[in-house]
Structure formats: structure tokens, C-alpha cells
Structure 1
């Protein structure tokens, strides 16, 4: 049952990520997210990196509370959030933004579509008028762009 909870939470996190990114990161907490778009911070870390702590905190609390109660459903919800966070870190920070050079020259159509959608998101440097707020779920037009190219 724990695996199922982890899987469902991981899947649901994609929708929550879209909502949080569009309405909180590009809304109420734009002051933290802005430097991720305008690159105003010249150091290795951005104010945007505080979101790691903001989003990790509920996951850690849920896993702790669930572990204190014989690893009940709270633990597995926290695990699902944590696994999604790890996937986000590897795909967003390492693969897309190349904080560590990895898969730089990939030919994988799915990974290229993710990278292209994220690039479209970043062409908007202001709070409003953005697109592609999701993470792993990419609009179909970006898939078509790369899958059709590979079918020729």
C-alpha cells in the first residue's frame, strides 16, 4: 500500500507544481523566484533556491510524523513529495540548467521536449505572461517537435 501512496503522490505533485509555479512562484513569492528568470544573482545560489527548503520542510515533517506512528500513510506521502523533489532537482537543476554538465548532447525526444518547454518558460523574464509552468508533463507541441523530427 505504501508504494501506491508514493506513486499517487508523485503523480499528483506534477499538478501541484504547475499551480504552485504559476500562482505562488510567479505570484505571491515572485521576489524569491525572479532571479531565476532575470539571472540578477551572480553567485552559485539564487534566492529561488530557498524553494528547496520551503518544499522539503513539509515532506520531512510528514515522513517524521509517519515514522513515529509505525510508518503510516503520512510517511509515504512525505516519500512521494521527496522523490518528486529529487526528480525535480536532477531534471531541472542538473539536466536543464546544467549546474552539473550531464546529458548535454542528448538526442532523446522526451528530454529535448522538456528542455525546450522550459526554455519557452524562461523567455519571459517578468512575473506575468509565462507559459509551461509544469515540470515532467510537457505540452504536446514540444513532443511533436522532436518526435516528428526523429521519424523522418
Structure 2
């Protein structure tokens, strides 16, 4: 029975992380921490790393903290930590590798989902400033971006 709750918490955490990514992106990255995120919209450096990568570090620390609490008797912290970690891996694969090609793989993915996610992200990046942004999600984007 515990495994059922473990899986449920893991899947729930993974799903909630999409909302957290949207919220963080819209209100924090395009808000008071724009100074960390703006180099992602408008490259002002020659480095492979961006100041924007600091947000990844924040969620990695939250995930590792969950593993710590899980090892200290709070079993439900493990699936929360793994859910955050799995979302971070999915986000990295979709956003950094597939969309922005930080590694040159998945270039030829051309199914309906891939096209929709790429289209939504392209619309998001057409705005170079922090205002007037749209489509802040990553894995679940509005259906209008899947239409031809």
C-alpha cells in the first residue's frame, strides 16, 4: 500500500512542478529576478552557462533537501524529491537540449507534440523584455500551439 502512495506522491509532485515552473517563470523570472533570467532571452555573454541556470540550482537544493528529510524518517519526502528531480530532468531534456540545442541531439524530433512545444517557446522568446510575455509553461502548453 505504501508503494501506491509513493507513486501517487511522485506523479503528483511531477505534475505540480509544471505549475511551479509556470508560476516561477511568469512571476519571479519575469518579475523581481529578471536580472538572472534576461540573459536567457537576450544573450549578453559568450559562456555556455547562463545566469538563468541559477533557477536549476534552487530546485536541485529543494530536491536534495527532500532526500535528506526522507533519510531521517519522513518517507514521503523521497517521492517528493524524486518528483522534483524527474521534472528537472524532463525540463532539461525538453528546454535546454531539445528546444535550445545546448547539446546537439533531438534535432529531428518532428511529431505534433515536439512542434507544439517548440512553437509555444518560440512565441515566448519573441519578447526580449520582461513585459508582454506569453506561454510560460514548458511541458503542457496551450492547445492553440499544436494547431497547424
In the aligned structure 1, how far is the partner of 2:65 from the partner of 2:124? 31
The alpha carbon displacement at 1:31 in A equals: 0.4
Matched, 1:24 2:28: yes
Structure 1 unaligned runs (5+)? 146-152
Q: Find the residue that maps to 2:128 and give its secondary structure.
A: coil
Over the aligned positions, Cα root-mean-square deviation in angstroms equals 1.0
How do 1:3-152 and structure 2 match up within 5 A? 3-69=7-73, 72-145=75-148
1:6-45 CA-to-partner distances (Å, cap 9, x unmatched) read: 0011011111111110000100110000000011122111
Q: What are the ranges of 5 or more consecutive residues in structure 2 without an aligned counterpart? A: none
Q: Tell me, in whole angstroms, the C-alpha distance in 1 between the residues paired with 2:106 and 2:77.
A: 35
TM score, norm. by length of structure 2: 0.93
Q: Deviations over 1:63-111 (max 9, x none)?
A: 1111221x61111111111100010011110100001111212221101
Q: Deviations over 1:45-65 (max 9, x none)?
A: 111111111111111101111
The normalised TM-score by structure 1 is 0.91
Q: Size of the alignment, in residue pairs? A: 144
Local SS of the residue matching 1:4: helix
